[in-house]
């Protein structure tokens, strides 16, 4: 089945152009960014970005990363529309050469990033942990590395950042399309545990089992540290530059910290976020192939 989607881009001259985005079934993503990037940056207003449902970091209902990108682009007169897709389909679409910007993680792309020439702006950095029911592990979950977890059934997301690490450790996770499915499987004891970002894991548990959240526990020992990024294919250097300018704008006007505070509540903000907003430095970014954080040196 072929689905056609249109995005209207309003030019400074007042004319309206309609770009038709071709999606082949459910496996393809909108390819609006190529057309957008070919127009002068000041001449477009609407932009579609692919992301995932992973509160409180990303999602249609808001999240730290999706809100930051939306606010930054709004300072540049660009309206952002998010569309939700599974991680694996987002990565597949970029690997197939579709020019769609992404709010997610460079860790989703399990390939030679140097050859892909992806470009990113880091928005978040955090640890992945294991979550489990206390009744399944009354003495807590103790392990030194992933090799110690081979005997357990671990829930994870198709295409997630941990896939290569699990493979190296000989762990075979039970893969699903989204974090919500893992939370429900864990509560039903269909899996022993699931891997998630600290904020994301607790948020999804609270959303689905608010009355039973106290029955869950998070392993203290983190599995891996991952970044949260706005990711742009090679053709979108100009679009990335617009985001960088917008990020600098919301840093200076205070919106950057306000967005973090919205989701952290009474909890202290990561030290790196406060330092980034107070030190007056401009936003940084690097090619996704580089291993160092791109916006600040470890937003932790």
Q: Specify the pTM.
A: 0.75
Model confidence pLDDT, tens digit, residues 17-48: 223 232 333 334 444 554 444 444 455 589 99
> What's the pLDDT at 113?
55
- Between CA 18 and CA 4 the distance in angstroms is 12
| CA max distance for the chain | 68
- Residues with Cβ within 8 Å of residue 14, at least 6 apart in sequence: none
Higher pLDDT residue, 61 or 192? 192
pLDDT of 159 over the 60 cut: yes
Which alpha helices (DSSP H) does the chain contain, by range? 32-37, 64-74, 87-95, 113-116, 163-169, 179-187, 198-208, 237-253, 255-264, 271-278
Q: Domain residue spans in the chain?
A: 126-225
- Burial of 141 per CB tally in 10 Å (0-12, 13-18, 19+): buried
pLDDT tens digits, one per residue of 192-245? 999 999 989 999 999 999 999 999 999 999 999 999 999 998 888 899 999 999
The pLDDT of residue 99: 79
Confidence tier at 59 by pLDDT (50, 70, 90): very high
Mean pLDDT of 263-275: 81
Show Cβ contacts of residue 246 under 8 Å, excluding neighbours closer than 6 positions. Answer: 71, 72, 73, 74, 75, 76, 78
Whole-number average pLDDT of the chain = 80
pLDDT at site 273: 83
Measure the CA–CA gap between 143 and 149, rounded to whole angstroms: 7
**Does domain 126-225 match CATH 3.40.190.10?**
yes
Distance from C-alpha of 91 to C-alpha of 25, rounded to nearest angstrom: 16
């Amino acid at each position: 089945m072929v689905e056609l989607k249109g995005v209207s881009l309003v030019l400074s001259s007042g004319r309206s152009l309609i770009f038709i985005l071709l999606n082949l079934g459910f496996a393809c993503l909108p390819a609006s960014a190529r057309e957008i990037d070919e127009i002068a940056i000041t001449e477009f207003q609407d932009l579609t970005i692919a992301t995932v449902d992973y509160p409180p970091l990303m999602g249609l209902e808001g999240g730290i990363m999706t809100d930051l990108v939306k606010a930054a682009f709004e300072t540049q007169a660009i309206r952002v529309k998010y569309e939700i897709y599974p991680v694996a389909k987002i990565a597949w679409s970029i690997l197939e050469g579709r020019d769609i910007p992404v709010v997610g993680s460079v860790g989703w792309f399990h390939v030679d990033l140097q050859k892909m020439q992806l470009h990113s702006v880091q928005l978040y950095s955090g640890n992945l942990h294991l979550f489990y029911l206390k009744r399944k592990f009354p003495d807590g979950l103790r392990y030194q590395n992933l090799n110690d977890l081979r005997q357990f059934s671990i829930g994870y997301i198709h295409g997630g950042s941990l896939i290569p690490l699990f493979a190296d450790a000989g762990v075979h996770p039970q893969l699903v399309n989204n974090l919500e499915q893992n939370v429900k499987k864990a509560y039903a004891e269909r899996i022993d545990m699931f891997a998630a970002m600290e904020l994301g894991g607790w948020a999804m548990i609270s959303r689905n089992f608010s009355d039973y959240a106290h029955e869950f526990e998070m392993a203290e020992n983190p599995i891996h540290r991952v970044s949260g990024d706005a990711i742009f294919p090679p053709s979108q250097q100009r679009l990335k530059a617009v985001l960088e300018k917008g990020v600098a704008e919301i840093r200076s006007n205070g919106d950057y910290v306000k967005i973090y505070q919205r989701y952290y509540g009474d909890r202290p903000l990561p030290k790196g976020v406060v330092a980034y907003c107070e030190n007056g430095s401009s936003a940084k970014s690097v090619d996704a192939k580089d291993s160092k954080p791109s916006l600040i040196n470890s937003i932790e």
